[in-house]
Structure 1
Amino acid sequence: MTDTLRAALRARSNAHAPTVAGFEALTGHAWHQPTPARLAAGRAVSVVIPARNVAYCLAHVLDALAKQDTEGPVEMIVVDDASTDATADIAAAHPAVDILVRLPHPMGAAVARNLGTRLASADTVVYVDADMVLPPHVLADFAARAADNLVLVGFRHNVPFTPGSDGMAAVPAGNPQLAADHRVTWRPPVGTRLLYSGIVLDKPLEGRPLDHTRDFQDLGYGAWYYDWDLPRMVVTALLAAPRAAVLDVGGFDAEFGRIGWGMEDTHLGAALIASGCLVVPLRQAVGFHLDPPDAEQQWQRKLATWPATVAHYQRRLNEPVPIGRTEAFTTVADRLLAQAEVSTR
């Protein structure tokens, strides 16, 4: 009988210390330190940005990406998910954007990322949310460390919406803080069933998932840290993955977006881990996540659908490991792209 995805996760280690040590020995540079541009020389990345109604922040995001300090080639792909505001116009006018896809109707972030991945020319795809403003070293951080078996995880520092003089979200001064990410500093509710694991904590917890799992290494073989396992650490707000591996597992499962919010990146993470990838954090790769003006309302709408997407994820875990799906992925993506407007520079 074919192994299920759940069973395959229990068989996979996440012992990435030799990989980290090898990088440091080869380059003379610490894994978790911002990366000099020269270390990324000749190492291309394709940045894929799914975008829907993010006119309040997209220009800041693209400006920051245009200022990345890297000597490696950068391809910028924005997939507009049928926005009803000025998102597509902002992307079309920005000189950093190499490819703009405009979808004829909303298809969800999973489909948008899949189409961007299909069009990507680099071996490494960096997924960046359209509300993430990155420091100038981040693309070099990913490019210099990318490999065909590594999922590289960045982090986010949420900031509430504050309008600037132009009405767009203002970007805070200074650097985003690693500790602001809930995978780094975690204070779960007490006496409430946690939706992902189903556990109920009976006393307050000051959790440190990143530290306490030794940079996720102790989450191998299907291990858990309270409400966290290794696939859940794979968050596509800021993430790099080998394009060939993403295609081989079939990319993002669009069904999650049809059901509700979330879990498509967790499922992709599970599939990549089962296929042999290691999940390695980059503590220096932290971006400002610019909340929208209606952040609280959006969050409540998302949370209302999360139980359904978690249930779908649990069903997917009991299915065979998704491998050998590149041809099917390409067929679906090409059909959808034929319905979209694709502009290139």
Structure 2
Amino acid sequence: MGLVVTAPELAPGPLPLREEMLRHGNDHSSSTHAWEAVADGIGWHQPTPSDCRLAPSRTVSVVIPAHQVGYSLPTVLDALDAQHHPYGFEVIVVDDASTDDTAQVAAGHRVIDRLVRLPQRMGAATARNVGTALARGQTVLYLDGDMVIPPHVITDIAARATDTSVLVGFRHNLRHEVHSQDPTTLGRVPALAADHRVVWRPPPNTVLPYSGITLPEPLDGRPLDHTHDFINLGYGHSYYDWDLPRMVVTALVAVPRTAVLDVGGFDAEFGRLGWGMEDTYLGACLIAAGLLVIPLRQAVGFHLDPPDAAQQWQHKLAGWPHTLARYRDLLELPAPRGRTQDFIAAMNNLLTHCEVLP
């Protein structure tokens, strides 16, 4: 009888990011219920009262990528200065080579801890990466330079953040003619329903650009409600044109800094290609790493439109097919891991070419 030689079993290679996400659920109910059990009667979605002295679970760094936001940045920074958070938090602005007074506004505001000016326009992904490298907080709140948040939001995040959660806020868009002509508008409570992730009415008989599906009839969609606060979007499930990574929007989202470093931060190529999808890709990477995406319904900010909002929106939409294609390509590559050292080295090298104000 001849000798039978069997080939050694090969260790399975890393899964593509798309497949890795299919292995993870998003049932965060035990996390939110556990927090409520020790929160002295405050609900998960309830604004933290100004007289509350809940100890923060984590320290917070606010990272603001800023390009041509001189029209809105003073109001954004004033809102951060008015937070009733009883503990310290850090604010970092990374100016993406603005030619307006963005840098001057940031440099003159007392709430700013660090201001960095990139040597040339590099995009919001790179600006956020630089801010993340400089951040000293355990949780990084990515806040856009046109997002004005209510005074309870920093405390809401600091008290609820963990090293395994992505905390998602929402935005209420205000046209420029509204917020510029009537500043009292900003004294109102932003409406949760103004966010498309909450109330969504897509056009019928039109190809939806993210999923490619076409809805034959009008839809009164409620993504947040109908997915039970995104719980039902785990394991790669979708709600029409929405999936879990797409719920991660950097206009207002808080993430563990170490997790962002481990996946290599935001992919800078998105900024070179056009607009959008860098936050969706980061969300996909964090989901594949096992983090839960949890909404904070009370964390709603006013998004302040620029004077040329219509032109900017058309320009953004024109570039979206390119960034979407980049995202689709990255989903087929292995889920990123262990990139902290390379990320820090790359950002430290870039910082040698930046103007950094202490």
Aligned pairs (5 A) from 1:1-345:
1-28=13-40, 29-36=42-49, 37-41=52-56, 43-162=58-177, 171-344=185-358
Task: Evaluate the alpha carbon distance shift between residue 30 and residue 47 of structure 1 in structure 2; reply closer, same or farther with a 3 A threshold.
Answer: same
Task: Evaluate the alpha carbon distance shift between residue 180 and residue 168 of structure 1 in structure 2; reply closer, same or farther with a 3 A threshold.
Answer: closer
Bigger drift between 283-292 and 69-78 goes to 69-78
Q: Cα distance, 1:72 vs. partner? A: 2.5
How many residue pairs align between the two structures? Answer: 343
Cα distance in structure 1, aligned partners of 2:76 and 2:53: 23
Task: Evaluate the alpha carbon distance shift between residue 169 and residue 326 of structure 1 in structure 2; reply closer, same or farther with a 3 A threshold.
Answer: farther
Partner SS state of residue 195, structure 1:
coil
Cα distance in structure 2, aligned partners of 1:227 and 1:164: 31
Q: Cα distance, 1:20 vs. partner? A: 0.4
Cα distance in structure 1, aligned partners of 2:179 and 2:234: 44
Percent identical: 61
Task: Evaluate the alpha carbon distance shift between residue 171 and residue 100 of structure 1 in structure 2; reply closer, same or farther with a 3 A threshold.
Answer: farther
* 8 Å contact from structure 1 (residues 79, 113) kept in 2: yes
Where does structure 2 lack aligned partners over 5 or more consecutive residues? 1-12
Task: Evaluate the alpha carbon distance shift between residue 51 and residue 118 of structure 1 in structure 2; reply closer, same or farther with a 3 A threshold.
Answer: same
Q: Given residue 198 of structure 1, which amino acid in structure 2 is its aligned partner?
A: G
Cα distance in structure 2, aligned partners of 1:119 and 1:58: 20
Bigger drift between 31-40 and 251-260 goes to 31-40
Bigger drift between 305-314 and 83-92 goes to 305-314
- Cα deviation code 1:51-109 (max 9, x no counterpart): 00001110000000001011222100000000000000000000000000011111100
* 8 Å contact from structure 1 (residues 40, 71) kept in 2: no
Task: Evaluate the alpha carbon distance shift between residue 269 and residue 260 of structure 1 in structure 2; reply closer, same or farther with a 3 A threshold.
Answer: same
Partner SS state of residue 209, structure 2:
coil
Cα distance in structure 2, aligned partners of 1:9 and 1:163: 41
Task: Evaluate the alpha carbon distance shift between residue 117 and residue 168 of structure 1 in structure 2; reply closer, same or farther with a 3 A threshold.
Answer: farther
Q: Structure 1: which 4+ aligned runs deviate by more than 6 Å?
A: 167-170
Task: Evaluate the alpha carbon distance shift between residue 168 and residue 104 of structure 1 in structure 2; reply closer, same or farther with a 3 A threshold.
Answer: farther
- Cα deviation code 1:226-279 (max 9, x no counterpart): 000000000000000000000000000001111111000000000000001000
Task: Evaluate the alpha carbon distance shift between residue 50 and residue 203 of structure 1 in structure 2; reply closer, same or farther with a 3 A threshold.
Answer: same
Cα distance in structure 1, aligned partners of 2:297 and 2:77: 22
Partner SS state of residue 135, structure 1:
coil
Cα distance in structure 2, aligned partners of 1:110 and 1:39: 33
Cα distance in structure 2, aligned partners of 1:259 and 1:236: 18
Q: Cα distance, 1:171 vs. partner? A: 4.8
- Cα deviation code 1:151-195 (max 9, x no counterpart): 000000000002778x89775331100000000000111111111
Alignment TM-score, normalising by the size of structure 1: 0.97
Cα distance in structure 2, aligned partners of 1:10 and 1:72: 39
Q: Given residue 290 of structure 1, which amino acid in structure 2 is its aligned partner?
A: L
Q: Given residue 333 of structure 1, which amino acid in structure 2 is its aligned partner?
A: M
Q: Given residue 71 of structure 1, which amino acid in structure 2 is its aligned partner?
A: P
* 8 Å contact from structure 1 (residues 56, 168) kept in 2: no
Cα distance in structure 1, aligned partners of 2:196 and 2:216: 20
Q: Cα distance, 1:43 vs. partner? A: 3.8
Task: Evaluate the alpha carbon distance shift between residue 71 and residue 173 of structure 1 in structure 2; reply closer, same or farther with a 3 A threshold.
Answer: closer
* 8 Å contact from structure 2 (residues 178, 185) kept in 1: no
- Cα deviation code 1:23-56 (max 9, x no counterpart): 0001132000001342244742000000000011
Where does structure 1 lack aligned partners over 5 or more consecutive residues? none
Q: Given residue 12 of structure 1, which amino acid in structure 2 is its aligned partner?
A: H
Matched with 2:3 is none
Alignment TM-score, normalising by the size of structure 2: 0.93
Partner SS state of residue 184, structure 1:
coil
